[in-house]
Amino acid sequence: AACNWDEGSGVRATPVAEGYSLSGISGTVQDAQSAGVILVASHVGRESAQFLVPTSSPGVTIAPLTTLDLSRRFADVILDDVVVPASAVVGDIGGGNALDRELEVALVLMCAETIGVIDWMFNTTVEYSKDRTAFGRPIGSFQSLKHIMADLGMYVEMAKAGAVAAAHAVQSRQEDAAELASMAAAFIGDVAIMVSQESLQIHGGIGYTWEHDLHLYMRRARSNSLMYGEPGWHRERVCAIHGL
């Protein structure tokens, strides 16, 4: 699915006799190469709208992207005067609330996945620190590494609490669901990068090799921190919710 949640959506829809004509670029769409239909967020005038667009439609170009996360495929979807019938509209024209809801659900799912990623990296790093020896003793026994791993453990648990709170708020449709979802995404995005870098440093040379799985998790953590808005974007969103 492709959705641009900010006001600068790259796709514009114009009413025509056959329905609507869509033009613009919907960027960084996951699995667009294998999708038969894409959900495109756009604007009709000043109103937001969503359309189901078959990728086989004339005027649709799928431009694959080179990605950091080797286990995912992304592409830009270029729409050049793509005509779809009025029945392709999902929901109602001006249905901004639906877009907000979709973003909230996407965020809590992404946060949950990221929690699994950083939990694996943290636990793997702790176990490695017990097995790897230097100067005749496990490196995890050194005070400097103990402090780092204690901090990482605290941040991982805080991230878990944030993900649970956001998921509960979104599921129960609390009034502050949008705020909690963005707060969780911002915090977990930053924590994921921190856990990734510290795990890499503690693993040392083996952490830099292709043969070790650490780099796969690091790639997923970084990709997730950007997919639905980087941490800074979500902090700005929280400010906007409060009129700041």
| % of the chain exceeding 70 in pLDDT | 95
Q: What element of type H or E holds 30?
A: strand 19-30
Mean pLDDT of all residues in 166-186: 97
**Residues with Cβ within 8 Å of residue 107, at least 6 apart in sequence:** 166, 170, 181, 182, 184, 185, 228
How many whole angstroms separate alpha carbon 129 and alpha carbon 138?
A: 6
128-167 CB burial, b ≥16 within 10 A, e <16: bbeeeeeeeeebbeeeebeebbeebeebbeebbebbebbb
Instruction: Please say whether the beta carbons of 60 and 79 come within 8 A.
Output: yes
pLDDT value of residue 46 = 85
Mean pLDDT value of segment 73-88:
95
Quote the CA–CA distance of 132 and 140 in Å, as a whole number.
8
> What pLDDT score does 135 carry?
92
What's the whole-number mean pLDDT along residues 46-61? 93
From start to end of 161-208, where are the E strands? none
Task: For residue 96, give both structure tokens.
Answer: 């901004």
Rg of the chain over Cα atoms, rounded to whole angstroms, equals 21
Segment 206-215 shows an average pLDDT of 94
Q: Are 192 and 222 in contact, with CB atoms under 8 Å apart? A: yes
| Closest residue by Cα to residue 228 from 184, 193, 173, 177 | 184
Residue 97 tokens, joined = 């609330």
* Token couple for 153: 């453990």
Task: Quote the CA–CA distance of 53 and 179 in Å, as a whole number.
Answer: 31
Contact between residue 241 and residue 179 where contact means Cβ atoms under 8 Å apart: yes
Q: Which residue has the tokens 């649709």?
A: 60
Residue 14 is inside which H or E element, if any? strand 11-16
Most confident of 3-17, 37-51, 192-206: 192-206
Give CA–CA dist 187/192, Å, rounded. Answer: 9
pLDDT band at 8 (very low <50, low <70, confident <90, very high): very low
Report d(CA 31, CA 64) in Å as an integer.
Answer: 9
Phi, psi (deg, nearest 5) at residue 150 = -65, -40
Q: Is the pTM of this model over 0.85?
A: yes
Rounded distance, CA 118 to CA 77, Å? 31
